[in-house]
Amino acid sequence: MEKAKRGKVVSYNKWGYFFLIPFVVVYAIFQLIPLVSTIYNSFFENYRSGLTQVGPNFIGLKNYMTLFTNGDLLSYTRNTMIMWILGFVPQILVSLLLGAWFSDPSLRLKFQRFFKTVIYLPNLIMASAFSMLFFTLFADSGPINSILISLGIFSAPYKFMSHVWSVRGLVALMNFIMWFGNTTILLMAGMMGIDPSLYEAAQVDGATATQIFYRITLPLLRPILLYVMITSLIGGLQMFDVPQILTNGTGDPVRSSMTLIMYLNKHLFSKNFGLGGALSVLLFIITGIFSLIVFKLNTSTEK
Amino acid sequence: MKKRTISVLLATAMVAGTLAACGGSSAPAEKPAEEPAAETTEEAPAEETAEEAPAEETAEEAPAEESAEGKVLNIYCWNEEFKSRVKDHYPGYEEVDATHGKIGDVEVVWNITPNENNAYQNNLDETLLKQADAAADDKIDIFLIEADYALKYVGTDYTMPVADLGITEDELANQYGYTKDVVTDANGALKGLSWQGCPGVMIYNRAAAKEVFGSEEPADIQAKFSDWDAFVASAKELKDKGYSVVSSVNDTYRVYSNNVTSPWVVDGKINLDPNIKKWVDDSKALVDAGYAGTHDLWSDDWSKGFYPDGKVFAYFGPAWLIDFCMAADTEGSIANAGGWAATEGPQGFNWGGTWICAATGTDNQTLVADIMRQLTCNEEIMTDIVKKDNDFVNNKPAMEAMAADESYGDAVLGGQNALGMFCAGADKIVMDQITIYDQGCTEEFQKAMKGYFEGQQDFDAAYEAFCKAVVEKYPELTY
């Protein structure tokens, strides 16, 4: 019994490990093992042509060489980033504005709950369904074109899906609509966390609303902004469903809306685990670097 | 102590739970086994034969009676076409529900996966690769393939030679030669049978023909579209009256691609046939002049022309397009009103076609052979298919008799008997340039050229994009 008594002190520490087991197991099975096997796979030639399996044969870094030499990687990274920025800039601006309005008690906004729900709603729709809807709306003979023609703005249907910037714009617009509600809620939570006495003090000192926003709200919001930015960036790099459905998997016109993950998806046709694995590893590294940059930029000026 | 034990138990239960969920059920338990006793006795010989060489297999299986065969017939296909053929024309087939049927005491299970994004082949491939280890009732018995990727399956051991099913060459004597060439493997073994022939014609809009050319008679229209130069000249006349000659330039693709002199891939290198290049040049001219669109095939914009408001003069296609795809059942469509007519057009061609393959390892060989015989060799049944579904069947005497039959007419074509045209076309079809890469090449080529037709890039850039996309699909190729 003495042993058990002594063990009781230690066992409290053990509880922590017990509670960690589910997470660790899930993490290991769904994240760690796939990650390691992806890296492992990226060194092999391993694909299926028709019903014939080729490989796996160890080929070292050849998959990486292929990716770097054909130049596609760079242009798809650029596409992805362009579409992300196009969507993210309006998203963060609108969210900041809405967040500031919603969290400002002096405005006495009515029906706040209703509007908060409404702006969040687009996020509840499946991205693919949303994308399908836009595809139909903006088809050559779709409703948007009919409206534009009957209004006399265009004489012939504008081929939205055949122009580089209209497709990229639509992708960005969809991402914006889907995510600004979510961002607003996050920023609002951050703004509500700011001590109201700071605002009151500023008002007493005669600060304008703009000054309050730039001098108090924004600096104190930095941690939340940082979080929003990193998650959005990672989400942006993994952009897939919206452009995939909108362009029917082609990334057209001329692959100008092909994202990195869509490119990865292309290798699925031949079950090309080697090249796909190499691309995933690179994507992992790119995501890591981007996140580090944003993280560094946002923390370096903090005292 | 007690608490600790409980917590350990809970934790293990949690872990076990997650692990169990990961393991998943590899064997699809869709169908409840009807007679477990019978199943176990069947399983043993089926597994045995699967591992043996095909030659031995037939020797052993030939004397087997139907009663010794499996109770479930699994059929893999991508749409309702084959199902409706079996339902309407196979003697003794009873429908149970949308995906199940019955032939005698054999349960027929339809596994229908749409073609979109290659879903059908992905599903089929995964199941075929597991075929050897699957339980007898889960094994694929019949699957369907199309001309574009026929060789992908025909060239492997996953398809059974038709001869091994006991179907002799004499029985197939009435079939069109090309339908056999497509599914013959490198060793000369015939691996599939088709009930249809797919010679294509130009299907034009009667009302538009009358409005623009003053006649809707096939002979008059043929004179206007006798070759590609005449085609372009007539396209201009149509444009002046507000019609597109074809919905999309992709409509004419098959007419060119079926008259090529070299395959898509030569010695592992992507090859551009001169006739395909001619399609690109002719199509670019059509698009630039505004005579035709650049829609993807099967898209909504493409099929707008099935209705009068779409203002499309013609589509190119075989019998199945007319009968199965042109919205004949929809009120208000041209097809519904019988407003189409057929003529040969500038060049003969072939598009598509469905072949029935027996999967190696099937436990229903007799039944599979009988379905093949009835639907692809039985002249009476095939004549019925023509009469009921207006399909063009793979049986020369039946088709020639029907072509001469004055009383037959296709309602979609306004009562026109176009079978003579199809017969003439079917005799001329040659399919000697097919490769296992055709489907991918065709799809990617049309996608890539769209950018060229719409003026976003020049031909070389579009061709490079095409090559890139093909190599993504088939990494062993070069360009």
pLDDT number for residue B26: 38
Picking from B122, B127, B91, B97, the residue whose alpha carbon sits closest to that of residue B109 is B97
pLDDT number for residue B1: 47
**pLDDT higher than threshold 80 for residue B353:** yes
Q: Is residue A12 part of a domain?
A: no
How many whole angstroms separate alpha carbon B308 and alpha carbon B243?
10
- Backbone dihedral angles phi then psi of residue B352, each to the nearest 5 degrees: 75, -145
Rounded to whole angstroms, what are the CA distances from B332 to A126, B44, B238, B304, B340? 34, 56, 22, 12, 13
Q: Is residue A274 part of a domain?
A: no
**B 291-320: CB under 8 A from A:** 293-296, 300-301, 304
Contacting residues for A94 by C-beta, under 8 A, at least 6 apart = A176, A180, A184
pLDDT digits (tens, 9 = 90+) for B263-296: 999 888 898 999 999 999 999 999 998 888 888 8
> Cβ contact (<8 Å) for A253 and B454?
yes
pLDDT digits (tens, 9 = 90+) for A93-105: 999 999 888 887 7
pLDDT number for residue B56: 41
pLDDT number for residue B178: 86
How many whole angstroms separate alpha carbon B432 and alpha carbon B371?
28
**Where does the pLDDT of residue A89 fall: very low under 50, low under 70, confident under 90, or very high at 90 and above?**
very high
**pLDDT higher than threshold 60 for residue A250:** yes
* Domain definitions of chain B by residue range: 50-197+354-385, 199-351+407-473
pLDDT digits (tens, 9 = 90+) for B227-266: 889 999 999 989 988 888 999 999 899 899 888 889 999 8
Q: Is residue A209 part of a domain?
A: yes
How many whole angstroms separate alpha carbon B192 and alpha carbon B368?
11
Architecture of domain B199-351+407-473: 3-Layer(aba) Sandwich (3.40)
Distance from CA of B8 to the nearest CA of A (A): 8
Site from A254, A265, A272 to mutate, B interface, most B CB atoms within 10 angstroms: A254
Which CATH fold topology does B50-197+354-385 show?
Answer: D-Maltodextrin-Binding Protein; domain 2 (3.40.190)
Beta bridge partners of A58: A44
Instruction: Out of A77-91, B69-83, B154-168, give the one with best mean pLDDT.
Output: A77-91
How many whole angstroms separate alpha carbon B422 and alpha carbon B218?
14
**pLDDT higher than threshold 60 for residue A45:** yes
Pull the structure tokens for residue A79. 């596409």
Pull the structure tokens for residue B147. 């001309």
**pLDDT higher than threshold 90 for residue B429:** no
Question: For the purposes of burial, counting CB atoms within 10 Å of the CB of A111, is it exposed (0-12), middle (13-18) or buried (19 or more)?
Answer: exposed
Q: Is residue A291 part of a domain?
A: no
The DSSP element (H or E) to which B266 belongs, if any, is strand B265-266
Identify whether the C-beta of residue B352 lies closer than 8 Å to the C-beta of residue B325: no
Q: Is residue A297 part of a domain?
A: no
Q: What is the mean pLDDT of residues A47-71?
A: 82
> Cβ contact (<8 Å) for A29 and B22?
yes
> Cβ contact (<8 Å) for B11 and A253?
no
Pull the structure tokens for residue A141. 């003979």
Nearest to B152 among A11, A15, A50 (CB): A50
The total of other beta-carbon atoms located within 10 Å of residue A113's CB is 8
Q: Give the residue, B436 or A295, on which the prediction is more confident.
A: B436
Omega before A253 within 30 of 0, i.e. cis: yes
> Cβ contact (<8 Å) for B11 and A4?
no
Identify whether the C-beta of residue B201 lies closer than 8 Å to the C-beta of residue B418: yes
The mean pLDDT value of chain A amounts to 85
Interface predicted TM-score (ipTM): 0.73
Q: Is residue A11 part of a domain?
A: no
Q: What is the DSSP string of B108-160?
A: EEEEE---GGGHHHHHHHHHHHTGGGS-GGGS--EEEEEGGGHHHHHTSTTB-
Q: Radius of gyration over alpha carbons of chain B, in Å?
A: 25
Looking at the complex, does the CB of residue A49 fall below 8 Å from at least one CB of chain B? yes
Query: By CA distance, what is B11's nearest residue in A?
Result: A18
Distance from CA of A79 to the nearest CA of B (A): 16
Q: Is residue A116 part of a domain?
A: yes
Q: What is the mean pLDDT of residues B22-35?
A: 39
Q: Is residue A129 part of a domain?
A: yes
Pull the structure tokens for residue B7. 């917590």
Looking at the complex, does the CB of residue A137 fall below 8 Å from at least one CB of chain B? no
Residues of A in contact with B8 (CB under 8 A): 18
Q: What is the mean pLDDT of residues B463-475?
A: 88
Q: How many domains does chain A have?
A: 1
SS3 call for B14: helix
Q: Angle B173-B174-B175 (CA atoms, 0-180°, nearest 5)?
A: 95
The DSSP element (H or E) to which B42 belongs, if any, is helix B36-51
**pLDDT higher than threshold 80 for residue A77:** yes
Looking at the complex, does the CB of residue A254 fall below 8 Å from at least one CB of chain B? yes
> CATH number, domain at A143?
1.10.3720.10
Picking from A258, A248, A245, the residue whose alpha carbon sits closest to that of residue A83 is A258
Beta bridge partners of B95: B101
How many whole angstroms separate alpha carbon B284 and alpha carbon B446?
12
Does this chain's domain B50-197+354-385 share its CATH topology with B199-351+407-473?
yes
pLDDT digits (tens, 9 = 90+) for B32-61: 333 444 433 444 444 444 444 444 444 444
pLDDT number for residue B37: 40
The mean pLDDT value of chain B amounts to 81
Please tell me the pTM assigned to this model.
0.77
